[in-house]
Structure 1
Amino acid sequence: MTSRTPVLAVVAAGVTVALWASAFVSIRVTGEFYSPGALALGRLLAGALVLGVLLVVTRSGWPTRAAWPGIVCSGLLWFGVYMVALNWGEREVDAGTAALLVNIGPVLIALLSVAWLGERLTVWLVVGGAVAFAGAAVVGLTTAGPGQVTWTGVVLCLVAAVTYAIGVVAQKPALAHASALQVAGWGCIVGAVACLPFAPVLVAEAAAAPWWASANVVYLGVFPTAVAFTTWGFALSHMSAARLGAATYLVPALVVVLSWAVLGEVPTTGGLVGGVLCLVGVALSRRRPAARPAVGEPGPVVR
């Protein structure tokens, strides 16, 4: 981040990245008992319940009319389509291919931010994004087990990347007219409503699943969804979409660490190298180009 970014926004971004990394581990152990649509709906219902209570307790009220296009767009695409597509896509392709495809998302965020929000791409943001993407690819390719790749899985992962990017960019203007809690809360509710057709499957699978798998679904809804999307919205309201999007390249590095700590999966050398590249890339993307001296002002003196 930069010195001009509020400390709370930096903390919020860190909370989001850490919780989203934990979601990958949780989904990995829960997906055996819940199908993609049911898992998405269960997660969204838990998140909507928590956020709905917070909206009532804080008396946040209805967002203004100007915020609703961004809320509905992000709710349908990011909370709804993205979660189902990602859950489904990761069943059709190996982890390495999924990592490569889904991590196109931050690149698309940067491009869409320029086209739709008028943000400016800096050299450091481009260089840092390239290094971080390479790191994410190394993590995925070197930690994946044997698996097959289907065209269905490739398309679903690409759909996840595109809907994630559009959802982020749609949220940015909405945050100018509503709080982070309102944007996250109503977006989650919109996503849950969109996923209601999976309700019968969710009920059947919840009845057959072990208690800890259902507890993981609740965890996904409360923390990586309710908490993380709210802290994400707060951070996004204080920094550019492109720079915040680049910060999500920290997720693959954290997934390696969490998988080691929680699942006992010892990281490979490639996984460690890729994680370091992710960290370096995000650090580079945070840098700003040197300020040019104003017209008439002397430049730096070389001695």
Structure 2
Amino acid sequence: MTVLDQENAVRTGGAPRSERPAATRPATARPAVLTGLALALTATVAWSGSFVVTRALHDSVPPVQAVFWRWVIALVAVAPLTLRRVWRQRALLRRHLRFLLLASLLGVALYNTLVHQAGLTTPAGTMGMFMAASPTLMVLFGRFGRGGERIGARRAAGMLIATAGVLTLIGKGDPTALFRLDLNAGSLWMLAAMACFAGYSALLRHKPAEIAGPVFLCVTFLLGTAMLAPAYAVSLTVQGGFTPGADTVGPLLYVGIFSSAVAFFTWNKAIVLVGAARAGAVYYLQPVCVALLAHVLLGEHTGPVQILCTGLILGGVTLAADVRRRAAR
């Protein structure tokens, strides 16, 4: 049984259609959809906070070292709660080792490393434009393989509206700014990061349901950290280490606990409940969350353009999420 089978259970209230009274189906499905969307929003907010918090790390911690310690902290956070379950499921984990290795490579070892590497040479606005396309890639990747997700006209329209709002927000009122991107090496790193995150999100739909969510997190954190270890050793040799202090340990704790352990748990659970495409629609809210956090924490200005774009994004996400239609199935 995979996550695809769990999604079918969510759609049908957890039992075959013939065994359930018709009147109970919407009441059972709607809470699961709302919970899934709330979990996707939690992950999006946590990841948005990392964009603000990790600014302090750019000049003090080399990218590979920052990502390595991020996952070490995340592993330390989840391991005490999951190691016994990991040991009990070791035979099952060995059977699905290839899947776990691929998920660890895309979601843990590559994605954040590529983002940090891109940030060395690519402006934040350009990076945001690339990340705005991640939900679209999630939908496209989700179409491949068994049980591909249908897009539908309503969801496609919502995605287009949200995308227009994101691009206009990042382009400071000019939605055509995308066509004037300077595709340097950092932009190519960002394209690779975007593809890794979208691929990871689509891959989660095929996770064996027998592997519990916390166990999956612990194992992928462990495997991904092991994959990063050689690059970390090279970085230490070439660039030297960093000096731990309040300006480095605090941000690393945030990204390790909240933007990794908490965010990945809630994101993975959201995809189980509502699928990668619908969770991806919520991900469009990330630029809005970043803008709000920057306004509150950094005092950055919020003007009419930001407010208008926020309205477009919220409207598009609402349309693409399509809670009423999902619950009625």
- When normalised by structure 1's length, the TM-score is 0.85
Q: Any stretches of 5+ residues in structure 2 without a counterpart? A: 1-28
Counterpart of 2:46? 19
Pairwise CA RMSD: 2.6
Which of the pair is proportionally richer in helix? 2
Deviation at 1:28, TM superposition (A): 2.1
1:94-243 to 2 correspondence within 5 Å? Answer: 94-116=123-145, 117-142=147-172, 149=182, 151-196=184-229, 197-199=231-233, 201=235, 207-208=242-243, 210-243=245-278
Counterpart of 2:287? 252
282-291 vs 40-49, which moves further: 282-291
Aligned partner of 1:216: which letter? P
SS at match of 1:275: helix
Counterpart of 1:69? 98
SS at match of 2:209: coil
> Aligned to 1:284, which of 316, 319, 325?
319
Query: Given that residues 76 and 194 in structure 1 are in contact (C-alpha distance below 8 angstroms), is that contact kept between their aligned partners in structure 2?
Result: yes
Deviation at 1:181, TM superposition (A): 1.2
1:10-49 to 2 correspondence within 5 Å? Answer: 10-49=37-76
Counterpart of 2:305? 270
Aligned partner of 1:258: which letter? L
Distance change (3 Å), C-alpha of 1:11 and 1:208 = same
Aligned partner of 1:84: which letter? T
Distance change (3 Å), C-alpha of 1:288 and 1:12 = closer
Aligned residues with identical type, % of pairs: 22
Task: Say which structure, 1 or 2, has more relative contact order (CA 8 Å, 6+ apart).
Answer: 2
**How many positions carry a matched residue from both structures?**
287
Residues of 2 paired with 1:142 and 1:183: CA distance? 40
Residues of 2 paired with 1:6 and 1:246: CA distance? 13
Residues of 2 paired with 1:66 and 1:136: CA distance? 41
> Aligned to 1:92, which of 121, 128, 140?
121
Residues of 1 paired with 2:135 and 2:94: CA distance? 28
Query: Given that residues 30 and 323 in structure 2 are in contact (C-alpha distance below 8 angstroms), is that contact kept between their aligned partners in structure 1?
Result: no
Counterpart of 1:261? 296
Query: Given that residues 95 and 141 in structure 1 are in contact (C-alpha distance below 8 angstroms), is that contact kept between their aligned partners in structure 2?
Result: no
Deviation at 1:95, TM superposition (A): 1.8
- When normalised by structure 2's length, the TM-score is 0.79
Aligned partner of 1:85: which letter? L
81-90 vs 208-217, which moves further: 208-217
Deviation at 1:283, TM superposition (A): 0.5
SS at match of 1:195: helix
Distance change (3 Å), C-alpha of 1:290 and 1:261 = closer
Query: Given that residues 67 and 173 in structure 1 are in contact (C-alpha distance below 8 angstroms), is that contact kept between their aligned partners in structure 2?
Result: no
Residues of 2 paired with 1:285 and 1:150: CA distance? 30
Distance change (3 Å), C-alpha of 1:8 and 1:68 = farther
